[in-house]
Amino acid sequence: MAFYLQIAVNGAVISCLYVLVALGLNLILGIMHIVNFAQGTIFMLAALTLFVFNVSLGLNYILASLLSVMAIAVLGVVMERLFFRRLRGQFLPSLVMSLGLLLVIEGVAWLNFGIVSQAVPPVFPGVVQFLGASVSKERLVIIAGGLVLIAGLFLFIRYTRAGKAIRAVEQDPEGAVLQGIDLDDVTRLVFIVSFVLTALAAVLVAPTLALDPSIGETPLLKGLVIIVLGGMGSVTGTLLGGLIIGFTESIVGTFYDPVAASLVSGVFLMAILIFRPSGLLPYRM
Amino acid sequence: MARALPFVPAAFLLGLPLFTADPYWLHVLIMSALNVSLALSLRVLWNVGVLSCGHAALMGVGAYTSAFLATSVGVSPWLGALTGSGATIAVAVGLGYLSLRLRGIYFVLVTFAFNEVFFLVVNRWRDVTGGPSGLVGIPRFPGLPPGRVSYYYLALGLLALTVGVLHRIERSRIGVIWFAIRDSDLRAQCVGINVVFYRVLAFAVSAIFAGAWGAFYAHYVTVIAPSDFTVWQSVYVQLYMIVGGAAAFAGPIIGGSVLTIATELLRATGPLVSVIYGALLTLVMLFLPGGFVSLHTALARVRWRPFSRSTA
Amino acid sequence: MAPLLEIDSLTQHFGGLAAVVDLHLVVGRGELLGLIGPNGAGKTTVFNVISGVLAPSGGRVMFKGARITGLPAYAIIRRGLARTFQIPTLFSSFSVLDNVLLGAYSRQRPRPADVLLGRRAGTDGAAARALELLKSLRLDGFRDERVRTLPHGDQKKVELAVALASRPELLLLDEPFAGLSADEIEDMTGHIRRLRGEGVTFVVVEHNMRALMRIADRVCVLNFGRKIADGTPKEISENLEVIRAYLGTKRHAAGR
């Protein structure tokens, strides 16, 4: 029992992380028709910024996280303005450009951060005993935080003015523009929301990771798998896809090893693309 | 006149070892030939309207097949290289048949996943691939005179074959049909073109050169590891093609050679290379979507307005 | 002898929408059948099914006595059937001549020798025939122009030339007169008549009733995917009240 609980907690942690990154990818995809391959490096930048504020400058975790997320939000505005807005809707050029940005950001990080992996000290040390299993508090915080963020995004998209504008553009860009919605405002907003979501995911899990400039690659890859699995542009599909991938990985990772787990998601991705390219759930936000 | 143009660089490259036998520069030129050929063969897929992120994995199939046969079975590298190319075709035809309905982002992602799966498989399958540390002590091609010059000429010959064959196919009826499929899939079907067949054919043609150069690479550097064939290596090949200019046959040739040599001149290593390449790729997509080959037309109508609002 | 084309209880659904319902249609050799009906009546869907672009939900299509439903589009085209599109969808980056040559390729298999010898595409007999075809449509002056630079009327003629290049026995024309001036309609009509003289069978979807009635042997009316009338142009014209009721717009009845 304790063993299975362990697997379940693991699966939930992984699912939360991947879903948050996938939601960020999916927002940009739905509005701008851009697959942002640089999203993983945003995750990495947020975690490394947190490290700099928290460890190098000695600020406390909460303050360091806030500063890091704010920095990433500013970066989102800048990147949207300078790069992505110009290639809005041009799927292939924007995709290639995002690959270019990925190479630049990750390369710069390697040059500045070095190849020795670093760690942010744990914020919530200790374990809780639960049904005979010992679960680290850190993991429970990640699950709780992840759920709050996902719920927050749902409420934002559904009930706020800005969220409604985003949905309007996603469903009918021309109609939305005729309704007086400024497309540039919406795309800027989408980049901020997407980047902030990814950054929050990063600061949430950073204390459990060995930090180096390559940590964004796995979330990016898994995020891509999830949006394909769940259906591009579908938020509920993303949740479902995230749970499937998270738990598959937890189970395979426990019984075999992490490489086998990644292999399974890779094969999963190919199979879904080949046999059901529209994803598990139809396209709807 | 224009027909004679390719012979000038050809003569120069042929005669080069008479003047310098600096192994370092010969190595740089060999790697240029490799990168040019990979980019040219990737462009075959581009010609039918798809972008592949799996070219490094196809190269890896050729490299690992030939290296495994040579190290574990004792097959001659020459025969191994042929087998490796054949294996690459088989993999490409299989992948092509499964993924040929996909276009755009779906094809990019399926090839991306393919490259990841290949990377993970060679990492795990230690008995055959040597796992993360790879295969070492791969024999060189037998019968070649010792020294780097012989490999230089081998690369030059393989480059000439790649350029020649791909150029001819492109100008033949098959090439015209490829471009037609890129222009309009539906229309091509409706003039009686078997779109599926020609797409898979493009995949196979693209793969055979990736596989052959992979085998060449294995028997040249004599050490291969999974990290030589990651999806980021595939992205580099895209970069040579796109930065050079994918619309023209000369584009990947210019892109592959200029970027490889420039990287060496800058003595850039590791992360710095990726920063430079990434910046180039980003800038080219934003300001010179046609790549280097479109430079003269782009300069003719310079409009430097980096902060203007986008116009759709 | 079997009719050239026989459509038997054809049905096509898109989700919950029935685009074509239980359609029976027979086209004899040498005939010119007009297919009319309001927008959304299912005319283009019928073309898409016949040419293999869509697989029908039910029913079958026989061409020259053999079943062609389920075959891929290219295989159907190779059996001697060709179509044009409502909006010209030519290979826009190709020259007029190259477009026509592509149309001709369906009847010839590529020879490996052509590739190995580096023979330039279109240097064989196909090129001569393509040029002849262009001449017959008075398009030979534009042979090296890129099609996207041509005026609409000429693009429609290039569409026709591409379809003809595969030497079809049955030609499906989707609104051949749409967007053409009176002179161009006259010209197009002349070409269609000439081709009928050469033995080509036609099915023509058209909104321009006057032009269609002049060339059709028989006209079939579709509405909401069902056949509601089938007869000679005269019968259909006399049935005008019925048609007006179904077509609903004065434009069609008045025939522009």
**pLDDT tens track for A169-192:** 888 888 888 888 888 889 999 999
- If you average pLDDT over every residue of chain A, what do you get? 87
Under 8 Å between Cβ of B291 and B244:
yes
Tens digits of per-residue pLDDT, B19-51?
Answer: 777 888 889 999 999 999 999 999 999 999 899
The mean pLDDT of A244-267, rounded to a whole number, is: 85
Tens digits of per-residue pLDDT, A123-156?
Answer: 887 888 777 777 888 888 899 999 999 999 989 9
Q: Given the DSSP bridges, would you call strands C17-27 and C201-205 parallel, antiparallel or unpaired?
A: unpaired
Confidence bin at A284 (pLDDT 50/70/90): very low
- Reported ipTM: the value is 0.82
Q: E strands along chain B, which residues?
A: none
Residue B80 has pLDDT above 80, yes or no: yes
The mean pLDDT of C88-100, rounded to a whole number, is: 81
Residue B90 has pLDDT above 80, yes or no: yes
Confidence bin at C173 (pLDDT 50/70/90): very high
Using the structure block, give the residue that is written with the tokens 């061409």.
Answer: C63
C-alpha distance from residue C130 to each of A184, C125, C127, C167 (Å): 50, 9, 5, 11
A221 to chain B, any CB pair closer than 8 A? The answer is: yes
Residue B303 has pLDDT above 60, yes or no: no
Among C232, C218, C226, residue whose Cα is nearest residue C246: C226
Which residue of A104, A184, A270 is in closest CB contact with B282? A104
More confident: B43 or B191? B43
* Interface chains of chain C (3 or more CB pairs under 8 Å): B
Under 8 Å between Cβ of B252 and B32:
no
Distance CA C98, CA C121 (A): 9
Say which range, A107-116, A270-279, B59-68, B149-158, has the weakest mean pLDDT.
A270-279
Under 8 Å between Cβ of C177 and C146:
no
> What pLDDT is attached to residue C54?
86
The total number of residues written for chain B in this structure = 312
More confident: B226 or B266? B226
Measured between its terminal Cα atoms, the distance across chain C in Å is: 39
Under 8 Å between Cβ of C173 and C205:
yes
- If you average pLDDT over every residue of chain B, what do you get? 87
More confident: A219 or B268? A219
Distance CA C53, CA C27 (A): 20
Contact C93 B177 (CB under 8 A): no
- Chain B residues near residue C148 by CB distance under 8 angstroms: none
Q: What is the DSSP string of B152-192?
A: HHHHHHHHHHHHHHHHHHHHSHHHHHHHHHHH-HHHHHHTT
Q: Which of A20-34, B97-111, B298-312 has the highest mean pLDDT?
A: A20-34
Share of chain A above pLDDT 90, in %: 34
Confidence bin at B2 (pLDDT 50/70/90): low
Residue A121 has pLDDT above 80, yes or no: yes
Distance from CA of C194 to the nearest CA of B (A): 22
Confidence bin at C119 (pLDDT 50/70/90): low
Tens digits of per-residue pLDDT, B43-70?
Answer: 999 999 899 999 999 999 999 999 999 9
> What pLDDT is attached to residue A3?
81
* Interface chains of chain A (3 or more CB pairs under 8 Å): B
Confidence bin at C248 (pLDDT 50/70/90): low
* Interface chains of chain B (3 or more CB pairs under 8 Å): A, C
Residue B1 has pLDDT above 70, yes or no: no
Q: What angle do CA C130, C131, C134 make, to 5 degrees?
A: 90
Distance from CA of B23 to the nearest CA of A (A): 29
Sign of torsion over alpha carbons C96, C102, C107, C108: positive
Closest chain C residue to the Cα of B175, Cα to Cα: C121
Among A47, A70, A58, A60, residue whose Cα is nearest residue A118: A47
Confidence bin at B306 (pLDDT 50/70/90): very low
Confidence bin at B156 (pLDDT 50/70/90): very high
Chains C and A touch (3+ CB pairs under 8 A): no
Confidence bin at A19 (pLDDT 50/70/90): very high
- Chain B residues near residue C96 by CB distance under 8 angstroms: none
Tens digits of per-residue pLDDT, A75-104?
Answer: 999 999 999 988 887 878 888 899 999 999
Helix/strand/coil (H/E/C) assignment for every residue in chain C: CCCCEEEEEEEEEECCEEEEEEEEEEECCCCEEEEECCCCCCHHHHHHHHCCCCCCCEEEEEECCEECCCCCHHHHHHCCEEECCCCCCCCCCCEHHHHHHHHHHCCCCCCHHHHHCCCCCCCCHHHHHHHHHHHHCCCHHHCCCEHHHCCHHHHHHHHHHHHHHCCCCEEEEECCCCCCCHHHHHHHHHHHHHHHHCCCEEEEECCCHHHHHHHCCEEEEEECCEEEEEECHHHHHHCHHHHHHHHCCHHHHHCC
Under 8 Å between Cβ of A281 and A229:
no
Contact A263 B278 (CB under 8 A): no
Confidence bin at A281 (pLDDT 50/70/90): low
More confident: C17 or B71? B71
Among C108, C111, C99, residue whose Cα is nearest residue C78: C108
> What pLDDT is attached to residue B311?
40
More confident: B283 or A235? B283
More confident: C230 or B63? B63
- Chain A residues near residue B113 by CB distance under 8 angstroms: 225, 266-267, 269-270, 273
Distance from CA of C110 to the nearest CA of B (A): 7
Say which range, A226-235, B289-298, B302-311, C146-155, has the weakest mean pLDDT.
B302-311
Burial (0-12, 13-18, 19+ Cβ within 10 Å), B86:
middle
Residue A240 has pLDDT above 60, yes or no: yes
Distance CA A96, CA A186 (A): 23
| pTM of the model as a whole | 0.85
Q: What is the DSSP string of B49-93?
A: T---S-HHHHHHHHHHHHHHIIIII---HHHHHHHHHHHHHHHHH
Coil, helix or strand at residue A211: strand
Contact C105 B191 (CB under 8 A): yes
Closest chain A residue to the Cα of B243, Cα to Cα: A96
> What pLDDT is attached to residue C120?
55
Mutation site, B45, B275, B304, interface A, largest A CB count within 10 A: B275
> What pLDDT is attached to residue C245?
57
Count of CB atoms situated within 10 Å of the CB of B214: 34
> What pLDDT is attached to residue B266?
77
> What pLDDT is attached to residue B21?
73
Tens digits of per-residue pLDDT, B193-246?
Answer: 888 889 999 999 999 999 999 999 999 999 999 999 998 899 889 999 999 988
Greatest CA separation for chain B: 63
Give exposure, B234-244, as e/b (b: 16+ Cβ within 10 Å): bbbbbbbbbbb
**Phi and psi angles of residue A136, each rounded to the nearest 5 degrees, phi first:** -70, 145
Tens digits of per-residue pLDDT, A46-58?
Answer: 999 999 999 889 8
Under 8 Å between Cβ of B45 and B92:
no
